[in-house]
Chains A and B, each alone.
Chain A
Amino acid sequence: MSDQLTAKDLMRGTYLRFGSAHTLRETLGVLLDPAGAPRERPALVAVNPDGKYVGRITAREFIRALESTDIEDVDPLDRTLGDCGGGMELTVRPDTTLGELARHAFDHPEEDFFVVLDNQQVAGIVDVTDVFRAVADVVLTPDSAGIRLPG
């Protein structure tokens, strides 16, 4: 068995969790709250009433709704997260290794975080910066420090 760090070691327990019936408008209202507590780039996860993972929301879904020029009765911002949520394939298991996470990040360059699912329940999220930090800690040696000026 590998002794690599896993998703469980790297994941964060703090993220924004919304019900799938909530709208983009109210979700974005929380994100853009100018006086809200300082956050790292927020990870948004949608769950159904039983707490099971439905999907994740990224900036693209919001921008798509804000850019929408559809002439409909329903304002795109009033669409629910359940209508917009995607990225079911962008999940990892708690025992996903660091090496696998690094490959996962490369395979999905547009995504900043992955949802860790444990038996269909959201256990946490793994941000790409955490994967990078962990990899850097592993590969860098004292000899690796510093940069050389271009000759």
Chain B
Amino acid sequence: MGATIRASTALDAGSSASFLALARAHWKADLSVGLTVAIMGIPQALAYALVAGVPPMYGLYASIVPCLVSAVLGSSNHLVSGPTNTVAMVTLSLILPLSEKYGVQPAAIAVLLSLVVGLIQLGFGLFRLGGVIRYVSNSVIVGFLAGAGVLIAFNQIGEALGYSLTRKGGHFFGTLGDAVTHLNQTSPYAVFLSALTIALVVLLPRIHKRLPASLIAIVVATALNWAWGWSDASKMGDRRVAVISDTGAIQSDLLAMFRVPDLVRKPDLELTRDVFTGALAVALLGLVEAASISRAIASRTGQRLDFNREFAAQGVGKIAGAFATCMPASGSIMRSALCYSSGGKTRAAAAWSAVWTAAVVVLFAPLANLIPKPVLAGLILVVAFSMIDRKRLGMTWRSGQNPRIVVMGTLVATLVLPMETAIFVGTFLSLGITLRVTGRTDLTQLVPRAEGGFEEVPFEKAPPSQVVTVNMEGDLFSAAVEDLDYELLRALTPSTRVVVLRMKRLRAVGSSAMGILEHFHTILRERDVHLVLCGIEEELKQVMTGSGLRMTIGEVNIFYADNRIFQSTELALARAWSIVEMERKRAQGTAKEVPAGDAKLRSVGAIMARRVIRFGYEHQVREAVWLLSEMLKRRRADAPRMLFLQDREGRMAGALSLQSLLGTLVEGLSAEELRTLGQADLAAKMRRAFTTPIGTTSAMDYPRLHPGADVEDAGRIVLEKGVSVLPVCDEEGRIQGLVEPESLLRALAGDRVPTIRTEVPSE
């Protein structure tokens, strides 16, 4: 992650210009969707302000300014920002203790929190640090949401039943105890209103999916409450049902929301410092929410997102919100999903939702102040219940022990610890488990198979061998190498002379690993065992060079990863067996090995290949070219390189190689022509040689052997005459077969060259 500051990331003039163009292109659709989102979002905005413990207008305003700013500057076409349940709950968890500690209004701290969170998120976006959210795993989010849902539900029980908890936002057990002790203060009016709200919110969507159930529930319940006068103090006394305006009336004068935050005009550094720690958790949570929502929708729309730009936009939105009396906002699942499903086309839809919300505030603020708190509490209870995603919890639970530990650990942490801490606890738990799983190097032994390839077996199942090949796989950073040299030593047997380490599948190799390998090398030297390395990738090569290990082990014992699988392993094994052979000879005191072997194999007749292409010497170049071309198409592995010519009696009359045919075709062409002629012209000139008799272009005095000749004679002729293939002819001169380079080498080598798949016979 480079620290290059791209200050234009969030405030690109180009993006603003394109936003206006988009807004104009789809204004009708986006205007309509904006209204839908606003209608559905306003009740939640009020409810989440209640969750956060701030006046309802802070939630409404958070649906206007941060939403508008984030939409204009952001990337996603469907992400709608506003108050969310999780951020609201974490906000409550943060601001209440600080309010008690510093004697400052919770709402003022909430605004400061919005500012600090915004600055953090803007920083993430500008420095392109958005990738940090990768470390907040799905298990952490599932556990956190479930815990938050439980906490939110229990925090609203009091409001739903008509009494106020003395300890809001506290730990689960404290809140539970508080709720139980206040049960006798339950108000039947509040219970009716909250139950009615819950029933309407749950049942109305079953009648029709698109019904704004939350809004209808609020309107109906508020109307009933007003009609029956349950909030009228003169009629109900202490049993009156509390309404929104009791904690802060919503004003229709929107301009009143714009002001410099109190804690910015009169900053308290200690308080700000305390806010910062929690703000980091809120920032991470907000980024995870925004990223997961926008990614989920983008996977359906195909839109490519710029997450760093989105994070910067979220940050700027919160900063702007702090100067507009807003609680911290974030990407809202409900609003965003609704925006997409209702047919929103562009970011303008989210912007229109902010405008519509502002219009509703202006027009209906006096009516909104009449909304009973139990109604909002009922709404929140439904939302809280939905946060406990049983399906995802079950899926995570069934994914294995590690996700289970993370989800339960995060859930419990959320219930018993401050919420902002729970996020970090869950994340570190997830990281710790990941490191435990990955911080390990798997070691197996590679045993060459007789038919080719290798078999991977545990050390204890590998047969003893003078050459041991160890396959290393996994991470080789400091946490993984602790007992690596001890583990490697387990591969050695009393007969081991060379250890080959295959390192192709290693990752994250650090200096600790180099130290361990050097130590292992030293141990082997003390036991007079050699070390050969193979499968070395470029990155590992650089680490080895820097640490000096490359020089210690020696270039001749290091084989680099190549383009063919197991190629470097085969080369390393050849090296290893070569070392074994040299040591064996040294021990015998002989410098030269006398080739042994069956005398019959020493004659060329025993090693020749019978398949020979014979061709009449009266044919033309064209026919030879065609014949060889056809043969090459069919026999790639043992492609013929010579045509042996024969006369009418079948006696060898010459040899025609691919090289001599090519020479015939380009005869008479200058170097300049060969370089510059077009392909068609070159072909035309080459065809001039087509009618040349091949007898005139072949080598008439090509060397030949008798079947009884020694292979040593064949080798001598190859060296003297500069040929690679030798025909074998009988007494009449008829070709019986061919001696090819590989079979000649094999016969000459005898047992002087141990192959990589057989043991060198020990004496």
Contacts and interface: CB of A to CB of B under 8 A. Distances in A.
Given A33-B756, A148-B623, A63 B665 contact: no
Contact of B591 (A58, A74, A146): A74
Q: Which of A26, A60, A135 has the most CB of B within 10 A?
A: A26
Given A30-B756, A99-B669, A105-B663, A110 B723 contact: yes
B753 A99 contact: no
A109 B660 contact: yes
Interface string A22-62: 11011111111111111111000000010000000011101
Contacts, number: 239
A99 B718 contact: no
B703 interface: no
A2 interface: yes
Contacts of A79: none
B760 to A, nearest CB: 10
Contacts of B757: 33-35
Contacts of A17: 562
A102 B641 contact: no
A41 B741 contact: yes
Contact of B741 (A59, A109, A137): A59
Given A33-B757, A66-B749, A67-B715, A99 B682 contact: yes
B755 A62 contact: no
A30 B562 CA distance: 15
Nearest to A106: B663
Given A3-B679, A13-B563, A132-B628, A31 B748 contact: no
Given A14-B563, A35-B450, A74-B591, A23 B676 contact: no
Contact of A138 (B559, B648, B683): B683
B748 A40 contact: no
Contacts of B577: 26, 29
Contacts of B673: 99
Interface string A125-151: 000110111011111100011111010
Contacts of A140: 625-626, 629
A133 B718 contact: no
Contact of B555 (A2, A21, A72): A21
A139 B632 CA distance: 15
B724 A139 contact: no
B502 to A, nearest CB: 16
A32 B753 contact: yes
Given A33-B570, A139-B686, A106 B659 contact: yes
A30 B570 contact: yes
Given A30-B574, A41-B741, A105-B658, A35 B449 contact: yes
Contacts of B639: 40-41, 129
Contact of A32 (B570, B677, B755): B755
Contact of B627 (A35, A75, A135, A147): A147
Interface string A71-106: 111110110000000000000000001111011011
Interface string B668-709: 010101111111001100110010000000000000000000
A139 B755 contact: no
B551 to A, nearest CB: 10
A17 B571 CA distance: 9
B245 interface: no
B571 A103 contact: no
B686 A138 contact: yes
B626 A108 contact: no
Contact of A14 (B564, B578, B641): B564
A58 B626 CA distance: 28
Contact of B754 (A1, A19, A29, A146): A29
Contact of A28 (B564, B648, B753): B753
Interface in B610-630: 616, 618-619, 622-623, 625-629
B370 to A, nearest CB: 78
Interface size class of A (residues with CB under 8 A): 35 or more
A92 to B, nearest CB: 12
B659 A59 contact: no
A72 B591 CA distance: 8
A25 B675 contact: no
A2 B690 contact: no
B716 interface: yes
Contacts of B463: none
Contact of B674 (A16, A40, A97): A97
Interface in B737-760: 741-742, 744-746, 748-749, 752-757
Given A29-B577, A100-B675, A112-B641, A41 B626 contact: no
A91 B651 CA distance: 38
Contacts of B227: none
Given A33-B756, A67-B712, A112-B641, A133 B574 contact: no
Given A75-B591, A105-B659, A145 B749 contact: no
A102 B452 CA distance: 36
Contact of A100 (B591, B592, B674, B724): B674
Nearest to B661: A132
A145 B116 CA distance: 81
Given A59-B724, A67-B716, A138-B679, A29 B756 contact: yes
Contacts of A102: 662-663, 665-666, 674
Contact of B755 (A34, A129, A145): A34
A128 B578 contact: no
Nearest to A109: B659
B687 A59 contact: no
B716 A26 contact: no
B719 interface: yes
Nearest to B617: A150
B719 A63 contact: yes
Contacts of A98: 679, 682
A29 B658 CA distance: 29
B555 A136 contact: no
B659 A136 contact: no
A10 interface: no
A146 to B, nearest CB: 7
B5 interface: no
A66 B715 contact: yes
Contact of B746 (A16, A30, A32): A32
Given A28-B749, A35-B451, 6 more contacts: A4-B682, A36-B756, A59-B741, A99-B669, A109-B722, A147-B627
6 contacts: A30-B571, A30-B756, A33-B757, A99-B677, A137-B629, A150-B618
Interface of B: 448-452, 555-556, 559, 562-564, 567, 570-571, 574-575, 577-578, 581-582, 585, 591-593, 616, 618-619, 622-623, 625-629, 632-633, 636-639, 641, 648, 657-663, 665-666, 669, 671, 673-679, 682-683, 686-687, 690, 712, 715-716, 718-719, 722-724, 741-742, 744-746, 748-749, 752-757
Give 4 nearest A-B pairs by CB, closest first: A106-B663, A99-B674, A136-B629, A26-B578
Interface of A: 1-5, 13-14, 16-19, 21-23, 25-41, 49, 58-60, 62-64, 66-67, 71-75, 77-78, 97-100, 102-103, 105-110, 112, 128-129, 131-133, 135-140, 144-148, 150
